[in-house]
């Protein structure tokens, strides 16, 4: 079994918990409170800015041309395509540029981006790209799970369509292949570190939606 298949199977309970989150159930049926979605969008903009930086570092560190191309392209997509989606939602949900600009990262957002930045700064390339992958793969799984049962019309249709799009699935497949290739060439200690990075990042994905659903800020 490949590295990715093994960690994906190990994390089945966590993935089920993600698919069962009220944020995603209500987003699919179109009843998610606007306040929760607004919180998510603003936080996700902050997240994507940092994620784009992490992808650019992965591109610089990639040993193969395929890796350099994939991660530099991913950095561009994170900044251009997903941010464009956010801009459209900002207009739809009444988030002004000032509101977005003044927003502070939530504990979940800062925790996730800081964790990825720490992988980029102090850990191996293999561990870094294992931590990067859940951002693709979890969203692809969520997009595909939600799309067939989503209400129509749905105020969140553009979000669902983005993450259920075949092009997003193809990008996920390419990053997964890079992670599997890195794992196949790595020793057991590095593979264990890669599994840990993948696990932490997947937990942060759960936390990100949970924190948006509860419009969580700093307790103090």
Ligand X SMILES: Cc1ncc(CN)c(N)n1
- Residues near 177 by beta carbon (within 8 Å), at least 6 away in sequence: none
Nearer to ligand X, 67 or 134 (CB): 134
Q: For the segment 73-112, give every residue that binds ligand X (CB under 6 A).
A: 82
> Taking the complex as a whole, how short is the minimal distance between the CB of residue 184 and ligand X, in angstroms?
25
Q: Does 139 bind ligand X (CB under 6 A)?
A: yes
> Taking the complex as a whole, how short is the minimal distance between the CB of residue 82 and ligand X, in angstroms?
5
Q: How many residues form the binding site for ligand X (CB under 6 A)?
A: 8
Q: For the segment 36-55, give every residue that binds ligand X (CB under 6 A).
A: 44, 47-48
Coil vs helix vs strand at 124: coil
> Taking the complex as a whole, how short is the minimal distance between the CB of residue 44 and ligand X, in angstroms?
5
Q: Does 23 bind ligand X (CB under 6 A)?
A: no
Nearer to ligand X, 108 or 186 (CB): 108
Among 58, 75, 205, 212, binds ligand X (CB under 6 A): 205
Q: How many CB atoms lie within 10 A of CB 92?
A: 15
Integer Cα distance of 41 and 13 in angstroms:
26
Two structure tokens written together for 177: 């292949």
> Cis peptide before 153, with omega less than 30 degrees from 0?
yes
* Full DSSP string of 68-114: HHHHHHHHHHHHHHHHHHHHHHHHHTT--HHHHHHPPPPHHHHHHHH
- Binding residues (CB under 6 A) for ligand X: these are 44, 47-48, 82, 135, 139, 205, 208
């Amino acid at each position: 079994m490949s590295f990715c298949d093994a960690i994906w199977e190990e994390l089945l309970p966590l993935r089920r918990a993600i698919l069962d989150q009220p944020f995603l159930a209500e987003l699919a049926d179109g009843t998610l409170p606007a306040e929760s979605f607004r919180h998510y969008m603003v936080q996700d903009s902050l997240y994507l800015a940092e994620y784009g930086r992490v992808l650019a570092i992965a591109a610089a560190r990639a040993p193969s041309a395929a890796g350099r191309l994939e991660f530099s392209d991913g950095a561009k997509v994170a900044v251009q395509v997903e941010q464009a989606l956010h801009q459209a939602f900002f207009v739809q949900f009444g988030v002004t540029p000032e509101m977005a600009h003044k927003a502070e990262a939530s504990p979940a957002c800062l925790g996730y981006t800081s964790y990825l930045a720490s992988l980029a700064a102090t850990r191996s390339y293999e561990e870094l790209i294992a931590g990067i992958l859940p951002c693709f793969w979890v969203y692809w799984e969520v997009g595909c799970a939600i799309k067939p049962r989503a209400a129509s019309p749905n105020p969140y249709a553009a979000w669902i369509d983005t993450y259920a799009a075949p092009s997003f699935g193809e990008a996920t497949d390419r990053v997964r292949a890079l992670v599997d290739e890195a794992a196949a060439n790595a020793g057991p200690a590095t593979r264990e570190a890669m599994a840990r990075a993948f696990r932490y990042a997947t937990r942060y994905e759960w936390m990100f939606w949970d924190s948006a659903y509860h419009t969580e800020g700093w307790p103090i």
